[in-house]
Structure 1
Amino acid sequence: MMFHVFPSGRLCSLRRALLVWLLPVFLLVGAASAGFAYWSYQRMASAFMDNQMELLAESMGAQEQVVALPALTRERVHKLGSYVVQAFDAQGHQRFSSWPDLRLALRETPGFQDVREGGERWRVYTKRLGPAQGSRSVQVLQSGEFRRHLAVSQAGTAIAPVIILLPLSFLILWGVVAMVSRAVGDIARQAAAQDEHNIAELPLDRVPREIAPLVVSFNSLLTRLRSAFATQRRFVQDAAHELRTPLAAIGLQLENLRGDLCTGAPAQRFAQLEAGVQRAQRLVDQLLKLSRQECTVAEAAPLPVNVREVLHESINQLITLADQRNIDLGLDASRLEDAMLPCPMSDLRSVVDNLIENALRYAPQGSVVDVRAESAQGRLVIEVEDSGPGIAPDLLGRVFDRFYRVPGSEVQGNGLGLSIAQAAAQRCGLRISLRNREGGSGLVARVETA
Structure 2
Amino acid sequence: MMRSLKRSLALWWLAIMLMLGGLMLIEAWSSAHRSADQALDGQLEAASLTIAEAMQWSDGMPLIEIPASALEVLATRWQERVFYELIGADGQLITRNAELPVTARLKREVSKAPVYVDATYHGETIRLHGREVSSAGWDTQEPVQVWVAHTCIGRDELARTLIERTLTRILATMLMAGVILIFAMRAWMMPLRRLRSALRERELEDTRPLLVDVPEEMHELTDTLNHLLGRQRQHRDSLLRFIADASHQLKTPLAGLRSISELSLKSPDPRDWQQALTTIQDETDRTSRLATQLLNLTRLRHQVDLADTDRIALDRLLKTTVLEWAERQDARDHDIGVEIVGSGPFVVCGEEWALHELINNLIDNALRYTPAGTVITLGLRRLNQQLELFIEDNGPGVGVPDPASLIRPFERAGRQDTCGSGLGLAIVASIAERHHGQLQLSHCQPSGLRVSLLLAVAESGHGEEDQ
What range describes the TM-score normalised by the shorter chain of this pair?
0.3 to 0.5
TM-score of the pair, normalised by structure 1: 0.44
TM-score of the pair, normalised by structure 2: 0.43
